Chains A and B, each alone.
Chain A
Amino acid sequence: MADNRIKDKSCCGGRDWEEFYRNRWQYDKVVRSTHGVNCTGGCSWMVHVKDGIVGWELQANDYPQLSGDIPNHEPRGCPRGISYSWYLYSPLRVKYPYLRGALLDRWQEARAQHDDPVAAWASIVENPDKRASYTSQRGMGGFRRADWETVVELIAASTVYTSKKHGPDRIIGFTPIPAMSMISYAAGTRFLQLLGGVCMSFYDWYCDLPPASPQVWGEQTDVCESADWYNASYIVLCGANLPQTRTPDSHFMTEARYRGAKVVVMSPDLNIASKFADTWLPVEQGHDGAFWMALNHVLLKEFYVDRQVPFFEDYARRYTDLPFLVKLEQRDGIWQAGEHLRASELERSAGMEQGEWILCVSDRDGAIRIPKGSLGMRWDSKPGNWNLDMTDVLDDQPIDCALSLLGDRATSVCFRYEGEQDALREVPCRSIKTVNGEVLVTTVFDLLLAQFGVSRGLGGDYPASYDDDKPFTPAWQEKHTGVGRETLLQIAREWGENGEKSTGRNMVITGAGVNHWYHNDLIYRSFITALLLTGSVGRNGGGMAHYVGQEKVVPLAPWTAVAMAQDWVKPSRLQNTPSFWYIHSDQWRYDRNFTDYFKPETGENIPAHAADVNAKAVRLGWLPFAPHFNDSPLRLMQQAHEAGATDDAAVRAWLVKRLQSGETRFAIEDPDAPENFPRLWFIWRSNAISASAKGHEYFLKHVLGAPNSTVTASEVAKDQVTELVWRDKAPEGKMDLIVDLNFRMDTSTVYSDIILPAATWYEKSDVNTTDMHSFVNCMDAAVPPSWESKADWKIFSMIAKKVSELSAPHFPEPFKDIIAAPLLHDTPGEIAQRRVKDWKQGECEPIPGKTMPNLAIVERDYVNLYNRFMSLGPNIAHLGAHGVNWDADDVHADLLNRLPTRSWGGKTYIDLEDERNVADTLLAFAPETNGELAVRAYQNMEARIGKPLAHLAEGSRNVRISWDDITRQPRRFHNSPVWSGLVDGGRPYSPYVLNVEHGVPWRTLSGRQSLYLDHPWYTSFNEGLPTFKGKLPAAVLDELQEGAQDGLVLNFLTPHGKWGIHSTYTDNLRMLTLSRGGQVVWLNHEDAAQACIEDNEGVELINNNGVVVCKAIVSSRIPKGSVFMYHAPERTINIKKSRKTGKKGGVHNSLARIRLKPTLMLGGYAQFSYYFNYWGPTGVNRDCYVVVRKLRG
C-alpha cells in the first residue's frame, strides 16, 4: 500500500504546482450560444472565452424543468457539438473572400472596359469562351483571395443582370432548416424575395418530409418533443437510431425503460439503438412495412374482431375516418373501393354549401348522417361547424355512428397487392339512394378488415389462419422481413395490450431509415395504422415521432413574414426542390417510365414518366416551378401592357390565353432550353452541391459543368417523355454563377465560383428552436467574426445595398412581376379540384387559382430593396400561419417605441440592422412567445370551429419572451393554435392533443385521421388503403452497368452518421480522430471476404450514377447484402483516385439519384395540396445498388 504517497491537506508544501492545471480552468467570460447545424438538437451551450479566444464549450444545464415527473433536459449536446470550437481557428476556416482565379481575371478585364458593373458582367456571361474560362474549372482549385468590395460588386452586378436579362425567377437560393438559426436563414431569403428570386425547399428534398403525414393528418409533420418519450410505455424504434442521431434526447428513451417502457428496435444492423432494445428485430431493410402490416392483421383480428376494446372503438369512431362511407364501384364487372360518399350526392343534403367536400357516415340504425368536421365546413360561409363533434350538421342531433355495416349483405370486392394474387373478399355493404341512383356503400373500417385479410366469417379469398401465406398474415410477412411469425405475434399482442392498458401510450419513433425509400409513405401508413388502431395519436406518450430533418420554427408566423419579406410583398416565390433538381440537373433524362416499377391500373389519365406528371402538376397548379415560363416574367408583364392589358386581371387573362395557345409555355416543358436555365445560385448554411445534392454527379455535369463528373448512365427517357421537349445534347454548366457563404471549406465551396467567409455560430446572434424540445434558445456572439468573416445577415444586406445602387440605371422605378403560385393547403385552393381535369387537354377551362396556378402580380422596387431589407414592413401587424390569423397593430406600435427605427420615403420603420432586434421582432409578434397574441389567435380559431379555445392561452396571456430573456436561460414557449400540441402545466409537447381534447379537426378531407385516401390516383395505384410494396428491384433502376452481376452488388444505404451532422463535423479533426480518419463504408464480414476486402482497406464503389473511393470497415454487425455509408461525408479529406475514372472519387451522393413518386404530386384536393416543405414528391434515395471492389489489386 502506497500509504506514504497520500498527501493530506495538512501535508506541507509541494502543492503549489497544482495551479498549472487551475490556470487552464480560467476564463474571461462565458457566452450562451448554440450550434446552427441541421440536427434539431437545439442545445444551449456555454462558450468559454479566454484572452479573447474561444477556448472550449460546455453544455448549459439550466433548462427549466418541465415537471417533477419528467427528467430534466440537461445536459443536451453531443460529440459533434462539443467539437465545434475546433472550427473557429482551424486551417479549414474560410477567412477571406475567394474567387476562382479565371473569374477574377475576367472580372478585372471587364471592369476595365465597362464602367457599369452590370455591363461588365454581361460581357463575360454573354461570351461563351469567357464564361467557360471559369465555369469549366469548377472544382479544380485555383482560388484567389479577393476583397469584399470586389466580390459584392460582382455578385450584385450578376444579380441585376440576371433579373433584367432572364427574370428574377432564374435566381435561386438554397439554405435548409431555418429553425436552427432562423435569422441567418432569413438573411438570404429576405433578399431573394424582395428581388423576386426563388427560395428552394429542403425538407422534401432531403426526403425528410414524411408524405404520410399530410396524407393521414393534413399536417407537414408534428411530433412530440423528446421529453414525451418518457410518457410512453411501449416504444418501437423503426428507422431511427436515437443514440446516434438524437444524441441529446436519447436519455429520455433510456430513462423511460426504468419507468417500465418496453423498447423494441427494428433495424437491419446491430446499431447503437439496439443496445437499448428489449427485443431487437433485424427486419430486412426497406421492408419494415411488411412487419407492421402483419402486426395490424393480428391487431384487427384479436382486438377488434375476436374481442372488442371499448377504448379503441370509441377512438376509431371519433378521431379516424374508419366509420366514413365509401362507395363501391364496379369496373369491368369487378367491385372495388371507390370514393367517399359526399353530402352533395344525398337528396337530404344535396344543396349544402361545399357539399362535394363533405363526407357521410351511417348510424347504427342504418341512416346516413353528415357529421361535422369535413373540409367543406372549413370553407363554407357559416362558421362554427368545422369541428370533431359526431353531430349531424343538418339537424344538430348526435350520431351513434357505425364502424361496420356487417349485417345482411356483403359483396365480393377486389383487393390488389403487389407481387401477390388479386383477392376477391366479401365486404359488408349496403345499397343506398343518391341523387345519381342506387349505390353500394361500405365503411373504411370494413374495407380495412378485408384489405388486411381479417374475415369475420365472410366469404372469399381470406387467409385461413396466421399461418396462411396471404397478405397480410404473420406467415406472409416472413418472406419480406426475415422475422419469424411467433416473434411477430408476440410483439403484436404486446402492442395491442399495451395500447389498451395504457390508453394509447404506444409510440413509434421513426426517421430516415424508413423514410428514404421510394414507398416510404406506405411504410409510414402501416405503422400509423397500428397507432390509430390502438388510440395512440393525440396522447402524451403515444403517436408517431418522426425525427429526421423535421424542424419547428416556433415563432412561425412572424418569422415567415420576415424571412419571405411578406412584411413587404406577398405571395412569395417558393420552389419544391425535388421537382426543381429532378428537372434542372437533368436526372429526368436518365429515368425510365415509372410504370416499370410503380404500375397504375388503367383508367386514369396519368402520364407514364415522372417528368411528364410533374409538368402536368405544374400546369394544373399542383406544384410550383421556377422559372415559371419560357420568358422572363418581367418581360411578359411588359408585353401584356404593350398588348393593352391595363390592370392585373387583364394581364392574367392575356397570359392565360398565351398559355392556352402555347405561345407562352411553362419552362418545365423545355428545361434544357437556355432561356429556361436557372442562372445564379446563392448557397448559405448548407452543403448544397454535396450533402444536399442527390445525384451529385448529375449536378456536377449539368448544373455546374465541372469536368470531373462520373455519370455513365444512359439517357433512357429519350423516347419516353411526351410532355417535355427532348434536346439531344444535354446542357452542361447551366449556372452562370455560384456563390457560397461558408465558414469552412466543404465540398460545395470547392465547387463554387465565389466563397464568402461566414461568421461561425459563436460569432453572431440568432434564434434557435426545434421540435425536440419546447424551449427558445439564443445563438450569440462570444467573439467578433474572425478574420474577414461576417454574419449572413450582414453579408446579404451588403449585397442588397449594392443591388439597390446598381439598379438605379436598370430598374429606376418600381415594376411588376408575375408569380405562378400553386393551389395552397390551408386556403380555399385545397378544395379547388374535385376531379383531375387538364385544361390543356380541353377537359376544362384554364382558370387561375382553380384549374391552374394562381397568377399573382406583385410590385418590386429594386432601388429601395436595401431600405426594405433593413426595415420592418407594414404587413407585419396582420399575421397568420396554418390557417390561423391575428392582428397585432398595438404590438407593432409598441415595438416602434422600444426598438431603433429607420426612416426613408417619409415613413419610419423598425430598424432590422442588428440581428438582436430582428430576434426581438420575431418574439414579439409570435403567439408562442407573446401570450396576448395566443389569446387572439385562439379566439380567431374559436369562431371557425365553434368551440371554446381561448382559455388555453389565459395562463400565459401576460407572458412575453424577449431576446434578453433567452440569453439568460432557455425559455419555454406557450400554447398556440399554430401548433397542435399543448405545453401548459409542465406537459411535454405532443402533437394532436388539441384535436383529441378540444375537437379541432385535422386539416384532411374528413377532418379526421385518414386511413383511406379516396383520390382516384391512389385507387389506381392500389394505395387507397394501407398496403405493402417492397424495395424497387435493381433491374429496373438502370444503375448497374453491364457485367456488374459478377462483382459484389450491394444495397447502398446512407443512414445518418455518428461523426457528423450531415457533412458538418465530418471534416473536424476531433471527429476524424475518433473515427477512421475520412470517408468509409461499412461491409458485412462475409460480403467483404467474398470480394477479398480487408478492414481499413481502400475500396471503390461504382454504379452508373458515379464513383466513390474510400476505406472499408468490415464488421459483423452489418447485415449481408448491404453496404452502409453514413450520411454525409466530404470528398475533401484524403480522397484517392478511382480505378475506373482515374479521377478522385466522389461522395455518397455520387452513387445516388432521385426518383419522384407521382402520387405525391397531386394538388387542389384536400390534404393533397401544396405548401412549401409540406407536400410534394420527396427525394428518395435508398433504393440504390452499387458494386463494391478493392481499390488496388
Chain B
Amino acid sequence: MNVRSQLVMVFNLDKCIGCHTCSIACKNIWTDRQGAEYMWWNNVETKPGIGYPKNWEDQEHYKGGWINDGGELRLKGLGKGPTLLNMFFQPNMPAITDYYEPFDVDYANLHGAPKGDDQPTADIVSQISGQKMEEVTSGPNWDDDLSGSGQYAANDPNLADASIIEDYGRIFMQYLPRLCNHCLNPACAASCPSRAIYKRGEDGVVLVDQNICKGWRFCTSACPYKKVYYNWTTGKAEKCIFCFPRTETGQCNACSHSCVGRIRYLGVLLYDADGVEQALKQPDDKLVEAQRALILDPHDPAVQQAARKNNIPDHWLDAACNSPAYTLVKEQGMALPLHAEFRTMPMAYYIPSLSPVIAKHGDLHEVAKHGLIPALEQLRVPLDYLASLLGGGNQQVVAQSLAKLIALRVWMRAKNLGETADPALLAEAGLDETSATKLYRLFTVASYRERSIIPAQQRESEQPYLRKGGRGFGVLKTPRGGV
C-alpha cells in the first residue's frame, strides 16, 4: 500500500447556479495579465453545450488522455514512436480559434470622441493583434444558457438524441464548472518532454514548473480536459495551480471561496498509488467503481500506519478523517469523476443534478404525473446523458447518486412537516438516518469551515528560522549584493 494524500474538490451540480463568480475570482488573481487573457483556469459550461475550448470532450478530434491499448496504458495522442519526432508539431492542439480571440474595447472613445454627427461608441479591439474586430464571434462561454442551441447544445457529444434540444417538453439545462482535475495519472505530466510538470507529493497538486517549461505544448494536447494553456507572452504552459498559495496556508481555493451557490467541498482523500495503473485498465463502465476502490479509509489503522510511513503528517490524517470529500466520494458514492474514460483518474468529483419533470408540450403543457417530489424516472435529464459525463457510460452509478438526493428530500420533507419519516425510503436508496443527516448538513447548514477542510502545510523543512526574518526579501531572486 503506497498511501498518498490528495486535496480534492467536489462539486454539487445540483446546487450550481451557473453564475461564473468562481471563474472571475480565478481570473482576477491568476490570469489577468498579458499572454493569459484567454485562459480561464476555472470556467463554467452550460450543459448541453460544447464548452471551452470548443468540443473539448471530443477526443476523436483532440486525441487527449489515455487509452487502454491492449492492456497497456498509452497517451492517445502520441504514437508509439519516439516523442522527438513530434517535438515541433502538435497536430491535435487546440488553436486560439478553438478557445476564442480575446478582445478589449476602445472605451476611451466615449469621452474622447470629437464632435460628430452620431453618437460615439466604443469599438471592439483584438487583444492579440490590436486590430479592430468588426464583431465578436467567440468567447469562453459562448453557448451560455443554450445560446445558439441548434449549433452548440445539439452537438454535445454526450447527447444521444439531439432532438431533445428543440422539444419544450424535454429540454433541460445544467452547469458544469471545470478546472484542472489534478489527476492521479496526469496526461500532461506524462507527455512533457522537458519534465516540467509534476504532481506534488504533499497535496497532489499538479504544477508546471515555470523555470523548466520550454513551451513544447505536449501537455496542451495531452490533457483531455484542455486545462493546460500556453502563455504566448512567456512562452510557457500555465494551468490551474489549485490556489496552492492559499491551500497550503489552510485557505480554500479562490474559486471555491467565492462559490455563491455553495456547491464546492474541499478535503483530503487518501489513495493507494500502487493500484492506479490496474484500476485504469478496467473497461469504461467499471472505471468509476475502480477509481472509488482506490480511495482508502482514513480511519483504518493500517492505512494510517502506511500513511505515516509515507510522511503524511497527523493533521493531514485528521483532515482526511473529517474530509467532506471522503463522505461524498467514497462513503456515500454521491460524487463522480468527470469522463473517467479519459483515464487520467481526475480528482475533481461531481454530484449529478436533479431536473424538472418531463412534460407533454403541444398546444398545452401538461407535466407527467408525479409525486410532490419527482422520482428518478420523471426527470428531464436523460440518465444516459449524465452517465456519459460522469459515469464512464455506467448509468447505474449516476442513478444511485440521484436516488439518494431524491430520498433525502422526501425524508426531510416528512420531518419538515412534522410527519413520520419512513427510514425504509432511505434504505432503498442506500442511506440510513445517520448518513442522510450527514448529507443534509453538508448540502445545507454546513458552514465555510465545514465545507472545506484543508490542512495547512508545515514548513519546518524550509529553514523557518531564517525565513521568519527574511520572508519577502527575495528567495527566488536575490538582489545583487545579497539581502
Contacts and interface: CB of A to CB of B under 8 A. Distances in A.
Interface stretch (B87-95, B110-118, B384-392, B395-403): B110-118
B136 A270 contact: no
Interface string B279-306: 0000000000000000000000000000
Interface string A1112-1149: 01111101000000000001111101000001100000
Contact of B409 (A58, A82, A258): A258
Interface stretch (B56-64, B205-213, B319-327): B205-213
A536 to B, nearest CB: 14
Contacts of A14: 209, 212
Given A25-B29, A259-B444, A708-B119, A1115 B110 contact: no
A15 to B, nearest CB: 8
Contact of B258 (A82, A255, A707): A82
A278 B356 contact: yes
B105 A1134 contact: yes
Contact of A1137 (B118, B149, B257): B118
A247 B211 CA distance: 40
B357 A279 contact: yes
Given A750-B110, A1116-B150, A74 B448 contact: yes
Given A92-B107, A1111-B135, A251 B147 contact: no
A61 B260 CA distance: 11
A205 to B, nearest CB: 24
Interface string B17-28: 111110111011
Nearest to B132: A1134
A880 B122 CA distance: 48
Of A1, A56, A262, A749, most buried by chain B (CB within 10 Å of CB) is A1
B273 A3 contact: yes
B262 interface: yes
Contacts of A21: 30, 241, 244-245
A786 interface: no
A1075 B174 contact: no
Interface string A741-756: 0000100011000010
A2 B137 CA distance: 39
A258 B412 contact: yes
B200 to A, nearest CB: 6
Given A251-B261, A1069-B105, A1117-B146, A1132 B244 contact: no
Given A7-B200, A59-B258, A260-B414, A71 B445 contact: yes
A61 B147 CA distance: 34
Interface in A14-53: 14, 16-26
A1119 B169 CA distance: 12
Nearest to B417: A501
A140 B119 contact: yes
Contacts of A277: 356
A65 B24 contact: no
A9 B201 contact: yes
Contact of A141 (B114, B198, B374, B408): B114
A14 B370 CA distance: 60
Contacts of B113: 141-143
B141 A750 contact: no
Counting contact residues on chain B (CB < 8 A from A), the size range is: 35 or more
B136 A8 contact: no
A1075 B122 CA distance: 17
A670 to B, nearest CB: 32
A68 B260 contact: no
B96 interface: no
Interface in B25-55: 25, 27-30
Nearest to B185: A1
A72 interface: yes
Given A260-B409, A1085-B150, A750 B120 contact: yes
Interface stretch (B76-84, B189-197, B333-341, B427-435): B189-197
Contacts of A248: 260
Contact of B211 (A17, A1117, A1135): A17
Contacts of B212: 14, 17
A233 B115 contact: no
B367 A91 contact: no
Contacts of B414: 260
B118 A1 contact: no
Contacts of B480: none
A1095 interface: yes
A490 B353 CA distance: 24
Contact of A254 (B14, B148, B153, B365): B14
Interface residues of A, number: 132
Contacts of A81: 21
A890 B408 CA distance: 55
Interface string A467-504: 00000000000100011101100100010001001100
A265 B356 contact: yes
Of A90, A1074, A1119, most buried by chain B (CB within 10 Å of CB) is A1074
Contact of A72 (B111, B151, B443, B445): B445
B202 A1115 contact: no
A398 B142 CA distance: 66
A1095 B137 CA distance: 10
B356 A243 contact: no
Contacts of B73: 1
Interface string A270-286: 11101101111110000
Contact of A140 (B108, B118, B124): B118
B422 interface: no
A69 B373 CA distance: 22
A274 B170 CA distance: 12
B111 A75 contact: no
A1132 B444 contact: no
A658 B18 CA distance: 62
B210 A91 contact: no
A8 B197 contact: no
Contact of A260 (B107, B166, B412, B475): B412
A61 B141 contact: no
Contacts of B419: 501
B140 interface: yes
B365 A1115 contact: no
Contacts of A745: 107, 110-111
Contact of A270 (B173, B195, B260, B353): B173
Of B24, B120, B475, most buried by chain A (CB within 10 Å of CB) is B24
Contacts of A1074: 20, 23-24, 139-141, 144
A1095 B201 contact: no
Interface string A930-962: 000000000000000000000000000000000
B186 interface: yes
A465 interface: no
B205 to A, nearest CB: 10
Contacts of B98: none
B210 A20 contact: yes
B413 interface: yes
A77 B199 contact: no
Contact of B190 (A2, A25, A1137): A2
A92 B122 CA distance: 10
A433 interface: no
A137 interface: yes
Interface in B322-381: 353, 355-357, 359-361, 363-367, 369-370, 372-374
B355 A1085 contact: no
14 contacts: A5-B195, A56-B29, A58-B254, A74-B448, A139-B119, A243-B19, A260-B412, A262-B413, A279-B357, A282-B361, A750-B110, A1096-B148, A1114-B150, A1116-B149
Interface of B: 4, 14-15, 17-21, 23-25, 27-30, 73, 102-108, 110-124, 135-137, 139-142, 144-151, 153, 165-166, 168, 171-175, 185-186, 189-190, 195, 197-202, 207, 209-212, 241, 243-246, 254, 257-262, 273, 276-277, 311, 353, 355-357, 359-361, 363-367, 369-370, 372-374, 408-419, 440, 443-445, 447-448, 461, 472, 475-476
- 4 tightest A-B CB contacts, nearest first: A260-B413, A8-B201, A1077-B136, A142-B115
